Amino acid sequence: FPSRLPNVGTTIFTVMSALAAEHKAVNLGQGFPDFACDPALVDAVTRAMQTGHNQYPPMVGVPALREAVASKIETLHARRYCPNSEITITAGATQAILTAILACVQPGDEVIVLEPCYDSYVPNIELAGGVVVRVPLTPGSFRPDFARISAAITPRTRLIIANTPHNPSATVWTAEDMRALEELLAPTGILLISDEVYEHMVFDGAEHQSAARFPGLADRAFIVSSFGKTFHVTGWKIGTVAAPAPLTAEFRKVHQFNVFTVNTPMQYGLADYLGNPAPYLQLPAFYQAKRDLFRQGLEGSRLRLLPSTGSYFQCVDISAVSDLGEADFCQWLTREIGVAAIPLSAFYGDGFDQRVVRFCFAKKDETLREALTRLRRL
Ligand code: PMP
Ligand code: GLN
């Protein structure tokens, strides 16, 4: 029968993790921590199971967790979302993004993505029958180019998807960037998905500029986050969407027939754990130290370091090391040097190859040191 996604294969993250396992390579490809989460979080979830929180929770998420999320956003970004009508608990950011797209994109609607972009966006838009409009971030710096975004807007534009801190480029949007987007969208009815899964990984004293801080954005935005990233539990697949009540109402219509709801004990455990802000407030320093360890280890090598100001990724230019294209280089690096990475071309619809690959530094220091020992052979 005809495929709904004829051009889609297995994601690069799965492919590279399998190759890394096959060759016993240090896996700096797929983005996930190789260290344990806080035992207090596991205890909180265990307590929730032991006290009988094991049946369906409310469709939109348990009230205590929605309240904890609303309070956190209010404290950090000074916008109060109503826990009942504006916060929904999702099965990770991936489900949140798909659900938001299905909720608002009609067949033929145009959706702007800024490339390079996370690999689920484009297939999600296609599943909704939307038309993907690709706008490149500025080559080299990966900054948003508002003139190009503006030129891509038409009367059919329904949605734009933005992502800060950014996967894969590790750049962070400034308040000026957010204001520029706010101004650009002001005269339009265009909706926004603001993918903020790396919200707590911003370095060198910079601040995460959530869309929640900019009324002209927040009023039209699905703001997506992921506890998997924030609390080192990517396998739990649990996240949130904050959106104004009318958007949330449409989101929930799709959500209830998509997953209906999300696992109960994790929700109670996270609600409990969120009472203490220290774990997420310490995250910038925690990951900045890992970034610095990794960068210092590569200084003096022929891999040219690009800036990494947020997320848990470090991109490098490989052109002084190899004549291979990005994808072939990543295969070679995994097999021959024993370190897995992700080609940036995987984040472009046309496979654009700029000789840059992405490493994930969400790893134990000893893992990073082992990877550095191997990479210094280059
Ligand atoms: N958006 C971005 C930019 C991501 O990097 C990821 C995780 N790789 C996701 C969304 C999906 O997050 P989750 O694991 O919570 O589904
Ligand atoms: N978001 C992670 C990354 O960019 C991987 C998620 C996945 O494997 N789908 O590496």
pLDDT at 290: 98
Residues 6+ apart with CB under 8 A from 168: 116, 313, 315, 342, 344, 347, 358
- C-alpha angle with apex 346: 345 to 351, nearest 5 degrees? 45
pLDDT at 23: 97
Please give all residues whose beta carbon lies within 6 A of any atom in ligand 2, as ranges: 11, 13, 30-31, 167
- My answer on whether 291 and 177 are in the same domain is no
Number of domains the chain is built from: 2
Rounded to whole angstroms, the Cα distance separating 342 from 334 reads 10
pLDDT at 45: 98
Residue nearest to ligand 2 atom 7, measured at CA: 13
Question: What is the mean pLDDT of the segment spanning 349-373?
Answer: 97
| 188, amino acid identity | T
Ligand 2 center–CA 186 separation, angstroms: 32
- My answer on whether 268 and 338 are in the same domain is no
pLDDT at 49: 98
Rounded to whole angstroms, the Cα distance separating 314 from 13 reads 16
Q: What percent of the chain has pLDDT over 70?
A: 100
Please give all residues whose beta carbon lies within 6 A of any atom in ligand 1, as ranges: 31, 92-94, 118, 163, 167, 195, 197, 226, 228, 234, 237, 239
Boundaries of domain holding 98: 55-276
Chain-centroid distance, C-alpha 3: 27
Ligand 2 center–CA 197 separation, angstroms: 11
Give per-residue pLDDT as tens, 272-318. 999 999 999 999 999 999 999 999 999 989 999 999 999 999 999 99
- My answer on whether 83 and 109 are in the same domain is yes
Ligand 2 pocket check: which of 12, 13, 95, 226 to mutate, most ligand atoms within 8 Å of Cβ?
13
| Residue ending a domain, choose from 276, 311, 331 | 276
Q: Ligand nearest 362 Cα, by number?
A: 2
Mean of the per-residue pLDDT values of the chain? 97
Ligand 1 atom at minimum distance from 167 CA: 3
Question: What is the mean pLDDT of the segment spanning 16-21?
Answer: 97
- My answer on whether 290 and 265 are in the same domain is no
Query: Do 356 and 329 touch, CB atoms closer than 8 A?
Result: no
Question: What is the mean pLDDT of the segment spanning 20-24?
Answer: 97
What would the two tokens of residue 285 be?
Answer: 């320093």
| Of 88, 78, 97, 249, the residue nearest 163 (C-alpha) | 97
Question: What is the mean pLDDT of the segment spanning 234-248?
Answer: 98
Q: What is the DSSP string of 37-78?
A: --HHHHHHHHHHHHTT--S---TT--HHHHHHHHHHHHHHHS
Ligand 2 atom at minimum distance from 11 CA: 9
Query: CA torsion, points 259, 264, 266, 269, in degrees to nearest 10?
Result: 150
Q: Ligand nearest 11 Cα, by number?
A: 2
- My answer on whether 167 and 288 are in the same domain is no
pLDDT at 108: 98
Query: Is position 126 within any domain?
Result: yes
- My answer on whether 229 and 85 are in the same domain is yes
Residue nearest to ligand 2 atom 9, measured at CA: 13
Question: What is the mean pLDDT of the segment spanning 338-360?
Answer: 97
pLDDT at 352: 96
Phi/psi of residue 359, nearest 5 degrees? -110, 150
Ligand 1 atom at minimum distance from 97 CA: 10
pLDDT at 37: 98
pTM: 0.98
pLDDT at 186: 98
Give per-residue pLDDT as tens, 119-176. 999 999 999 999 999 999 999 999 999 999 999 999 999 999 999 999 999 999 999 9
Ligand 2 atom at minimum distance from 167 CA: 4
DSSP secondary-structure letter at 194? Answer: E
Chain-centroid distance, C-alpha 319: 27
Q: What percent of the chain has pLDDT over 90?
A: 99
- My answer on whether 189 and 151 are in the same domain is yes
ipTM of this predicted complex? 0.97
Ligand 2 atom at minimum distance from 30 CA: 10
pLDDT at 291: 98
Residue nearest to ligand 1 atom 8, measured at CA: 31
Rounded to whole angstroms, the Cα distance separating 113 from 105 reads 14
- My answer on whether 87 and 168 are in the same domain is yes
**CATH code for the domain of 306:** 3.90.1150.10
- My answer on whether 118 and 133 are in the same domain is yes
Chain-centroid distance, C-alpha 86: 21
Query: Is position 195 within any domain?
Result: yes
- My answer on whether 287 and 267 are in the same domain is no
Ligand 2 center–CA 30 separation, angstroms: 5
Ligand 1 atom at minimum distance from 13 CA: 8
